[in-house]
Amino acid sequence: MNPFKNRDIVSIKDFSRNDFLFLFDSANRIESLQEKERNHILEGKILGYLFFEPSTRTRLSFEAAMLWLGGRCLGFAEPKVSSVEKGENLADTIRTVENYVDIIVMRHYKDGAAKFAAEISNKPIINGGSGTEEHPTQAMTDLYTIVKEKGGIDGLRVGILGDLKYGRTVYSLLYALSQFNVKVDLISHPMLRVRREVFFDLEKKIELSEHENVEEVLPELDVLYVTRVQKERFPDPAEYEKVKSSYIVNLKLLEKAKKDLIILHPLPRIDEISYDVDNSKYAKYFKQTLYGKILRSALLALILDADF
């Protein structure tokens, strides 16, 4: 049974460990197909993308995924070119676009926007990032990258470094990891710790510890997930100034790492990973963008219940 058939992907919390494993198997299967078998899986299907916030990887990987499976895409990557600029509300935008497409991926700056869109729409909605809240398909990509690069998830020790307060990818990743047997080290400036209500909730589900200093835990880690400080989410620019560039991962720091550590990052990177790390064996963040396309292909094919 395909657990993704016709589903909205609003929150990672709606999916179980078995759902993730089913998705990863499907992604492996799609990747192993010959081009001529793959390029008609979503023939005749259209993906609509509605991006109210900037994006490179999420939007383009969804588009690339759709094209890879023989489908097509339409939408806007910039709300200024749509009627939203004239004052059209989100509900009317969704009610219109759902008439033109089979599935919608939406990114919005407001928490709750994806849930609202899913309630309105008769077509499946994929949350491509909602406020500071969640980014479920990024977390699926992150787990898939870990599976591909480490052979599995259980038993690993995962460090998450950076802006744990405003980074939505962190919240989706933490809830996804909580379905597995892992230890998580949360490493951040004290002003950027995971939001307390979420911390207390997660503490019941997964072994968590908090640190200020990455060097303290680095030698123990199997995975280091780095995030940028989310400048645009700070209510006060002066607060951002205090914490920007508060950590940096470079080759010197990595001398203390396990030989088979992998470094992930949802990207974009600002200055939190220095460029000298890019060519090291640890760096998997560009490979992660490729896994994102494969994973999202499988997700689209499963939601649209295509044969493959």
Binding site for ligand NCD (CB under 6 A): 57-58, 129, 135, 138, 168-169, 227-228, 266-268
Q: Which of 7, 45, 59, 107 is catalytic?
A: 107
In the complex with ligand NCD, which residue's Cβ is closer, 121 or 138? 138
Shortest Å distance, C-beta 186 to ligand NCD = 17
Return the number of the residue (22 or 285) whose C-beta is nearest ligand NCD.
Answer: 285
Measuring CA to CA, how many Å separate 201 from each of 114, 171, 287? 22, 11, 32
Least distance to ligand NCD, CB of residue 151, Å: 24
State the nearest-atom distance from the C-beta of 167 to ligand NCD, in Å. 6
Q: Is 17 a catalytic residue?
A: no
Task: CB nearer to ligand NCD: give 130 or 183.
Answer: 130
Catalytic residue status for 135: yes
Is 86 known to be catalytic? yes
Catalytic: which of 86, 196, 204, 259?
Answer: 86
Which candidate in 13, 17, 57, 231 is catalytic?
57
Spot the catalytic one: 7, 38, 45, 58: 58
CB 263 within 8 A of CB 285: yes
Q: What is the DSSP string of the chain?
A: --TTTT--B--GGG--HHHHHHHHHHHHHHHHS-HHHHTTTTTT-EEEEEESS--SHHHHHHHHHHHHTT-EEEEESSGGGSGGGGT--HHHHHHHHTTT-SEEEEEESSTTHHHHHHHH-SS-EEEEEETTTB-HHHHHHHHHHHHHHHS-STT-EEEEES-TTT-HHHHHHHHHHTTSS-EEEEE--GGGPPPHHHHHHHHTTSEEEEES-HHHHGGG-SEEEE----GGG-S-HHHHHHHTT---B-HHHHTTS-TT-EEE--S--SSSB-GGGTTSTTB-HHHHHHHHHHHHHHHHHHHTT---
Quick check: is 38 catalytic? no
Of the residues 135, 165, 168, 284, which is catalytic? 135
Q: Which is nearer to ligand NCD, 98 or 167 (CB)?
A: 167
| 58 has catalytic annotation | yes
The structure tokens listed for 242 are 């205090």
Least distance from ligand NCD to the Cβ atom of residue 163, Å: 8
In angstroms, give the least distance from the CB of 268 to ligand NCD: 6
Q: Which residue is nearest to ligand NCD (CB)?
A: 266
Strands 103-108 vs 46-51: parallel, antiparallel or unpaired: parallel
Of 124 and 129, nearer to ligand NCD (C-beta) is 129
Which residue, 60 or 308, is less far from ligand NCD as judged by CB?
Answer: 60
Given the structure tokens 């951040």, which residue do they identify? 188
Active site residues: 57-58, 86, 107, 135
